[in-house]
A and B are shown apart, each in its own frame.
Chain A
């Protein structure tokens, strides 16, 4: 019989491997379209959902408290971008594409959180402690964006990943970081 520790170790390696596989597939499918490739984004999200399911993700809590944490986290994530946006013109985007774009963005954000702050965080918490869980998921979160968005995003994604990890620890569920991550990404349409 596999012990809880061994199972956690397997889940950690499985989740990290799944993340790497999903990123590699996304980069491969996207080609020069990069982050703008919708098919690559959908594939990335679906692979991550499969990884989360294969790793036995627990059903996330769905409570107002979790959502409140998520909304607060999203506000923190958006604040610097909003301040930067005030000082420059930004890009004016046509409204017609928002529904399709938002659907894929939400899929990707939720799928990432289910693997990172769901499966991986839980396994790390079981095997190590809360600090290690936040640290490893933060680094993994930042690294998985580099192939798609470039090294210049590393610092910001480290900070954002840490905040999402803190939300996970404080709220006790993946729901809060998933809500924060999704809302912040969706707000990007107006904060570009």
Chain B
């Protein structure tokens, strides 16, 4: 029983440490089957891309005046939302007398490419309005935005933000197989961008292609590596056990 408690404690500690070092919000929790995301919906689809419904907007209302810890959560309606935003209510700036603010993140076609890469998927425009006139969302460290990439295998993209005067990089965390998150949720445009270096390294003409190609090769290498590692592990373990169980040589 002591051994069981010790091992369980060790397992719980290892689990906590693993989540601290590498929190995986990716579905599923540990294994099983990924959530059934539908194909990415583009505003303007690449040539030869399958037919899909148009992408949806994410919308939410927020009663004003808000309490200090209120937050509005927006998510688009795709299976596997393509955009999700959490806005701290105190970051909403509305005219005095406003009783409700309307927040939305609309998909728009990319118009200007950032200088350091290529936009991968739609641009999402985060905006606000209120029943008393125009409103906006100021920058807040507590807000964050998650974008789903068109395909799963990631070529290490980043989320960029354009408040209207040019694109700038945001600190980006991969929080799922195809999900990327950045802190901050001020009004403006957001997009997943593949930096030019990654784009050119992979030698492709479109952002989505290198991800698929490198992933297929990577998967194959991982499968082969896993098989080899498992077989080597088994052989070493078996040999060690045989060596241990072999009787000592007898003296002539």
Which residues of A are in contact with B by a Cβ distance under 8 Å? 9, 12-13, 16-17, 19-20, 23-24, 27, 31-38, 41, 76-78, 80-81, 83-85, 88-94, 97, 100-101, 104-106, 108-109, 112, 124, 127-128, 132, 134, 136, 139-140, 143-147, 149-153, 155-160, 162-163, 166, 169-170, 181, 184-185, 187-189, 191-192
Contacts and interface: CB of A to CB of B under 8 A. Distances in A.
A32 B73 contact: no
Contacts of A38: 33, 36
A188 B174 contact: no
A156 B233 contact: no
Interface stretch (B43-51, B74-82, B110-118, B196-204): B74-82
Name the prevailing secondary structure of the B interface residues. Answer: mixed
Task: Report which residue of A36, A124, A152, A191 has the largest number of chain B beta carbons within 10 angstroms of its beta carbon.
Answer: A36
Given A32-B151, A36-B33, A152-B22, 8 more contacts: A12-B234, A16-B231, A24-B227, A27-B220, A36-B35, A97-B36, A101-B33, A185-B29
B229 interface: yes
Name the prevailing secondary structure of the A interface residues. Answer: helix
Contact of B226 (A13, A20, A105, A149): A20
Contacts of B219: 27, 147
A188 B14 contact: no
Given A23-B223, A36-B36, A77 B25 contact: no
Given A152-B174, A166-B8, A166-B11, A32 B215 contact: yes
Given A16-B231, A89-B144, A92-B81, A191 B29 contact: yes
B17 interface: yes
Given A76-B11, A127-B241, A166-B4, A34 B84 contact: no
29 contacts: A16-B230, A23-B226, A32-B212, A76-B8, A76-B15, A84-B19, A89-B75, A89-B146, A93-B35, A93-B80, A101-B35, A104-B32, A109-B32, A112-B31, A124-B237, A128-B237, A145-B30, A147-B226, A153-B22, A155-B21, A156-B15, A156-B19, A163-B12, A166-B11, A169-B4, A181-B30, A185-B30, A187-B29, A188-B27
B7 interface: yes
A41 B231 CA distance: 24
B34 A36 contact: yes
Contacts of A9: 238
A92 B85 CA distance: 11
A128 B146 contact: no
Nearest to B13: A159
A93 B28 CA distance: 13
B24 interface: yes
Contacts of B35: 36, 91, 93, 97, 101, 189, 192
B18 A155 contact: yes
B29 A24 contact: no
10 interchain residue pairs of minimum CB distance: A35-B34, A188-B29, A105-B32, A36-B34, A163-B11, A80-B19, A185-B32, A20-B227, A159-B14, A188-B28
A127 B245 CA distance: 11
A41 B32 CA distance: 8
Contacts of A108: 31-33
Contact of A146 (B21, B177, B226): B226
Nearest to B15: A159
Interface in B159-209: 174-177, 179, 181
B142 to A, nearest CB: 11
B139 interface: no
